[in-house]
Amino acid sequence: PPLLRVEGLSKTYRSGGFFGRGGRVTHAVKDVSFTLRRGATLGIVGESGSGKSTLARCVVRLLTSESGSIHLDDIDLSALTDNDWHRESRRIQMVFQDPYGSLNPRRRVGELVAQGPIVRGAPRREVEARVRELFALVGLDPKAVDRFPHEFSGGQRQRIGLARALALDPDVLVADEAVSALDVSVQAQVLALLADLRERLNLSVLFITHDLRVAGQIADDILVMKDGAVVEAGPTARVFADP
C-alpha cells in the first residue's frame, strides 16, 4: 500500500465580502487524488495559480480542506483532532521556497533546527548533538549552528530548511518550490543533495515546482495541475513524452 494517499481533496478560498457574505470564491484545489510510495518522489507541476501550494499546505495541514481525505499509512490525517495531528505531524515535514522568509532572523540557525524536537520534549543535550549531525548531513559546517540566517547564502539557507525538516525524522518531505529561488548551479547542488538524502533516509518526497526541467530531474512520477485540477498523471518519462 502507498505511504501517502490523498483522495478527492478540495479547497476553496473565500475572500472579500462582510461576515462571509458576498466576496470572491476561488476553487483552488478541485477533487485531487494521488498516492505516494515509500522512497518515491512525486513531482506536482503546473503554472502559477494552478493550486500546487494550496495542495501542499492542505497535506501538511497549514490549511484545512473542505472535502477529501489524506491517509498516512492507515491513519486518516484529515480526521485527526489538532492534538492528535501534533503527534503525527513529525512524519510530514515541509520545506519552503524562501527559507529566509520562514527562518526567524533573530534566532540562531542551530536553535531553528532544534525547535521541532525541543517542542516535542527531546532532551536539549541530545538535540544539540543531533543538530550538528544534521548540519553535516546537509553539507553545512556544524560550527555554523551559532550564526544567524542572514549570514548564509540562498543555497545554504535551503540546506538549513532541509535540516529543520529532517530534524523530526519525517517519512514524507513536502518541498514547495524549494529550489525555485536559486541560481541554476546552486539549484543543481540542492537537487543532488535532496536526491542523496532521499536514498539514504528512504524519504518520500512531494516535490512542487512550476519548473518542468527541475521536475524531470528529480521526480519518478508527475502530477500536472491546471486550474486546481489534475489534468495528467503518470511516470515522469511517459508524462514528458506526451505531445
Joined together, the cell numbers standing for residue 146 give 551559532
Q: CA–CA separation, 21 vs 14, rounded Å?
A: 9
Residue span 17-36 as binding mask against ligand ADP, x where in contact by CB under 6 A, dash where not: ---------x-x--------
CB neighbour list of residue 80: distance below 8 Å, 6 or more residues apart: 88
Shortest Cβ distance from residue 55 to ligand ADP (Å)? 7
**Shorter beta-carbon distance to ligand ADP: residue 26 or 35:** 26
- Using the rule CB under 6 A, is 15 a contact of ligand ADP? yes
Q: CA–CA separation, 36 vs 34, rounded Å?
A: 7
Shortest Cβ distance from residue 14 to ligand ADP (Å)? 8
- Using the rule CB under 6 A, is 187 a contact of ligand ADP? no
SS3 content of the chain, % helix, strand, coil (to 5): 40, 30, 30
- Using the rule CB under 6 A, is 209 a contact of ligand ADP? no
- Using the rule CB under 6 A, is 48 a contact of ligand ADP? yes
According to CB under 6 A, which one of 39, 49, 68, 216 is a site residue for ligand ADP?
49
- Using the rule CB under 6 A, is 73 a contact of ligand ADP? no
Please give the angle made by the CA atoms of 182, 226 and 46, to the nearest 5 degrees: 15
The one segment of 47-55, 113-121, 127-135, 181-189 that binds ligand ADP by CB under 6 A = 47-55
Joined together, the cell numbers standing for residue 85 give 495531528
Q: CA–CA separation, 226 vs 218, rounded Å?
A: 21
The one segment of 45-53, 99-107, 138-146, 195-203 that binds ligand ADP by CB under 6 A = 45-53
